[in-house]
Amino acid sequence: MTETRANTKKLFIKTYGCQMNVYDSDRMMDALAPHGYETTLDMATADLVLLNTCHIREKASEKVFSELGRLKELQSERRALGGDMMIGVAGCVAQAEGEEIARRAPVVDMVFGPQAYHKLPEMVSRTESTRHLHQALRKPIVDTDFPEEDKFAHLPAARKEVTIKRGLTAFLTVQEGCDKFCSFCVVPYTRGAEVSRPVSQILAEARGLVEAGVKEITLLGQNVNAYHGDDEGRVVGLGELAHRLAEIHGLERLRYTTSHPRDMDDALIAAHRDLDILMPYLHLPVQSGSDSILKAMNRRHTAAEYLKVIETIKTARPDMALSGDFIVGFPGETDQDFEDTLKIIADVGYASAYSFKYSTRPGTPGANLGDQVDEAVKNERLWRLQDLVNAQTTAFHASCVGKTIPVLVERPGRMPGQVGGRSPYLQAVHLDGGAELIGAIHQVEIVGTSTNSLVGRLKVSVAA
Ligand code: 5AD
Ligand code: SF4
């Protein structure tokens, strides 16, 4: 592989699933950039196409195989014109079904899991060097090992030019993998055991982002508040990490996702009380409101314990708003269990929530449970749950009307003479104003709501 940019090659990454995958896709771009790869938005003209897949819910692998079918056609078209296209599958489907993908889709050149991203340049280089061979003679590279060594040690640093393109907000992975083993979830198998990045690495990356103009950072991890990173021989939790990040001059907002209720420790809750930079909006999934389902899910907490955590957080930070994840139709879920879930939603009052029908994930303990819930029942429960959550979201938006809130203005609005940004609660806010407002936090009075967003008016302080 050449180290020069003389012969630029085009890279297209299609990202499925969570923000962690978005972050990983950016890192893959960063890793390949020094080797002459520039990203393109046009898949058909790419020299290398990577599918960064997600395995968390249903039909993940079918989606990948149908996309590979389409890619095979694009590849044939390119070859007919004398060009070529290399194809790789990354992410959690690759981790879970690596050999199967290589066997069923010979069009694929590389299949590799999230633990192998730092080896991407080498894999691409090996693939490039065998392109001249007939497909039957080429063997796809499959890398789904869980290395002993720390994958974060090899993570390519975010490049400034990429960061600028990303704008005012950025993700930063601080932790990966999970040791909780909820019985429905593939993450402990696809992402592996929990690993935290050292504090110094995170601070360096955060400083680089802020220097490049980023004002808001979202710390990512599958179980982010289990963070326990090394700080020169001492173990530091997420609360202390937030304090360290808050010292970075120019960083104005900090968020983190996704958290487990059991890991909301005192230091993290106190950080919400003490740090203005930590946004008062927390994604804290409970999954179900029924104690027997929570037990079967191996969540290791009860509904009452979850509510207690929320009460403590709200005492520390009274303006805290919550979002959550819910699964309906977990094996054995009765009508009463589902009513308990509606009850916990009513008790908490969410600003927003994601909800899913349970789907069996091969290899998880949940896959061996009998007493599956009928699909029609799952559908009906999902609709009822989503109706309730939608009503709560609408009520939350309405409760903002009349208040003045800080809005990070990020971009031109949909209409000329308008700009758009985000509230502390991640709501989209539109207001009248010029491009000079972009890039800073402004006080905005909320004067109305429209579907999924707020309408604001810039608050101009009048000198006395
Ligand atoms: N079925 C349905 N939803 C699931 N989730 C994770 N695994 C499953 C599954 N097998 C949901 C959970 C989790 C979110 C990221 O995806 O609600 O919090
Ligand atoms: Fe999956 Fe989250 Fe449970 Fe970990 S805590 S097993 S990532 S649902």
Residues 435 and 457 both lie in one domain? yes
Residue 425's domain comprises 404-461
Residue at which a domain ends, from 143, 170, 197: 143
**What is the distance in A from the centroid of ligand 1 to the CA of 419?**
35
Cis peptide upstream of residue 258 (ω within 30 degrees of 0):
yes
Quote the pLDDT of residue 91. 94
**28 and 136 together in one domain:** yes
Share of the chain above pLDDT 90, in %: 78
Q: What residue ranges line ligand 2, CB within 6 angstroms?
A: 178, 180-182, 185, 187-188, 222-223, 260
Count the residues in the chain.
464
CB distance 339 to 303 below 8 Å: no
Q: How far apart are CA 269 and CA 261, in angstroms?
A: 11
**Rounded Cα distance, 109 and 86, in Å:** 6
Best CA proximity match to 17, nearest among 186, 231, 251: 186
Of the candidates 38, 181, 47, 176, the one whose C-alpha atom is nearest the C-alpha of residue 115 is 176
* Number of domains forming the structure of the chain: 3
The ligand 2 atom nearest the CA atom of 222: 7
Q: What is the pLDDT of residue 451?
A: 81
- For residues 168 and 138, state if they share a domain: no
Q: Among the bound ligands, name the one nearest to the CA of residue 56.
A: 1
Tell me: do 213 and 126 sit in the same domain. no
Q: Distance from the CA of 48 to the center of ligand 2, in angstroms?
A: 32
Q: Does the pTM exceed 0.75?
A: yes
Model pLDDT, residue 202: 97
For the chain, list residues with pLDDT below 70: 1-6, 135-136, 147-166, 461-464
Q: Which atom of ligand 1 is nearest to the CA of 361?
A: 10
Q: Is there a single domain that holds both residue 127 and residue 234? A: no
234 and 256 housed in the same domain: yes
- CATH number for the domain spanning 437: value is 2.40.50.140
pLDDT digits (tens, 9 = 90+) for 402-447: 999 999 999 999 889 999 999 999 999 999 999 999 999 999 999 9
Residue 19 and residue 119 share a domain: yes
